[in-house]
Amino acid sequence: MGLKENLHKLKKKYEGKKMAPAFNALHTFLYLPNETTHSGSHIRAADDLKRTMNTVILALVPCLLFGMFNAGYQHYAAIDETLRAAPLANFFTMDNFLMGCITILPLVIVSYGVGLAVEFLFAVVKGHEVEEGYLVTGMLVPLIVPVDIPLWMLTVAIIFGVVIGKEVFGGTGMNILNPALTIRAFLFFAYPTWMSGDKVWVHGAVERSKEIAGGANLDAISGETILGSYAQNQDIMYSLQDMFLGFIPGSVGETSKLLIIIGALFLIFTKVGSWRIILSTLVGALIMGLIFNGVISAGWIEESSKFYGLMNVPFWQHLIIGSILFGAVYMATDPVSAAQTNKGKWIYGFLIGFISIMIRVFNPAYPEGVFLAILLMNVFAPTIDHYVLQGNIKRRQKRLKVKTA
């Protein structure tokens, strides 16, 4: 007798018992549910929640693997700056990958372990089925945090994000905030020194800075992001190729814009991600960047201003630095917390991109504003849809009055 048959027998024993939701979740994860609709109208389709989540995870896996190589590369390049002279030759090495695995796999394990434990606990206590929504959240969380974030901090943030950002609203499909962004927001406001600065983006930089704090090689372990350098009006040591391909410090999944674009095309092709939200977010970011470039061209901001560095960034370059592209593809398109109407998606995405660059420029202490912008628009998404629907109703009423006149 196979595993599937044994699980079916055990499932009957758990029916009606307290632990039934936990067992059913394991059964559904391994196999398709053996339940069918017996009455009422329904739609037969090849996609379901689990397949949708698995599609997003497949789009994220290349970013995760690249992030492992990059974590190792940034670690060794911080020790030996000569490695940055030929990133393509020194990037895809086994040493880099092993160092990345040692650094990032614990983040993935903690993310899934703690998050799913909270999901199972709420399912058992409240007596509802475990939803597959956290499968994507568990993958996103390690990709949007610094590589050296302490695991206990990540644990606390995940518990907060899943409980406050999701379960208090009723679970998957009911939350108004993106759970992964709620987790990152908690980390930023609760532990700001671990979420910004020039040491948190390179594995081991904090420890090495303590070891050589009295030496002359302190700058050798600096891991300042490009946004941080622009915010401080510093010279940028990375080429446009490095920025696009991802050979730069940053969160695990945000650095390779090439892989993010490939993931975006995959999500659009599978109709999982909304191309309207992605495109409008990028358009909003470009327009805000153009406005700031115009301010610089008009001479309204002096070079000594703390806003000058990021205002002077070419408008198109905002898309290949920071997390604006990653946020637009994988975060803003969350089908639960995003706008639902087509016109609402255009407005929702545009405002995310517009506000992201505004926060990036006007808040040098936190130059990455895309995640705060998405959370803000998560709150306003229902309002946007409401006014779009009311506008449609009014136009139809006007057409009806014209026909009956």
Q: At residue 190, does pLDDT exceed 80?
A: yes
Buried b (16+ CB within 10 A) or exposed e, 300-335: eeeeeeebbbbbbbebeebbbbbbbbbbbbbbbbbe
Name the pLDDT band for 215 (thresholds 50, 70, 90).
very low
Q: Rounded mean pLDDT of the chain? A: 83
Which of 159-168, 355-364, 381-390 shows the highest mean pLDDT? 381-390
Name the pLDDT band for 322 (thresholds 50, 70, 90).
confident
Tokens 């506008």 locate to 391
Q: At residue 118, does pLDDT exceed 70?
A: yes
Mean pLDDT over residues 233-262, rounded?
Answer: 91
Yes or no: say if 226 and 238 are a contact pair by the CB < 8 Å rule. Answer: yes
- pLDDT, greater one: 52 or 264: 264
Cα distances from 235 to residues 42, 273, 308, 309, in angstroms, run 60, 36, 13, 10
DSSP string, 20-84: HHHHHHHHHHHS-------SS-----S--HHHHHHHHHHHHHHHHHHHHHHHHHHHHHHH-GGGG
Note every long-range contact of 18-24, with CB atoms under 8 Å and residues 24 or more positions apart, other chains counting.
Answer: 18/124, 18/127, 19/124, 21/120, 21/123, 21/124, 21/127, 21/128, 21/129, 21/130, 22/120, 22/123, 22/124, 22/130, 24/129, 24/130
Cβ neighbours of residue 216 closer than 8 Å, sequence gap 6 or more: none
The span from the CA of 386 to the CA of 391, in Å, is 9
- pLDDT, greater one: 362 or 41: 362
- pLDDT, greater one: 198 or 87: 87
Q: At residue 280, does pLDDT exceed 70?
A: yes
Yes or no: say if 333 and 274 are a contact pair by the CB < 8 Å rule. Answer: yes
Q: At residue 337, does pLDDT exceed 50?
A: yes
% of the chain at pLDDT higher than 90: 48
The span from the CA of 229 to the CA of 226, in Å, is 5
The span from the CA of 121 to the CA of 130, in Å, is 9
Q: At residue 172, does pLDDT exceed 90?
A: no
- pLDDT, greater one: 148 or 304: 148
Mean pLDDT over residues 48-70, rounded?
Answer: 89
Neighbours of 392 (CB within 10 A): 12
Mean pLDDT over residues 127-133, rounded?
Answer: 71
The number of helices, as runs of H, and strands, as runs of E, in the chain is 17, 0
Name the pLDDT band for 212 (thresholds 50, 70, 90).
very low
Yes or no: say if 318 and 257 are a contact pair by the CB < 8 Å rule. Answer: no
Question: 202, 187, 12, 222: which is closest to 111 by C-alpha?
Answer: 187
Q: At residue 345, does pLDDT exceed 50?
A: yes
The span from the CA of 357 to the CA of 345, in Å, is 19
Q: At residue 8, does pLDDT exceed 90?
A: no
pTM (two decimals) = 0.86
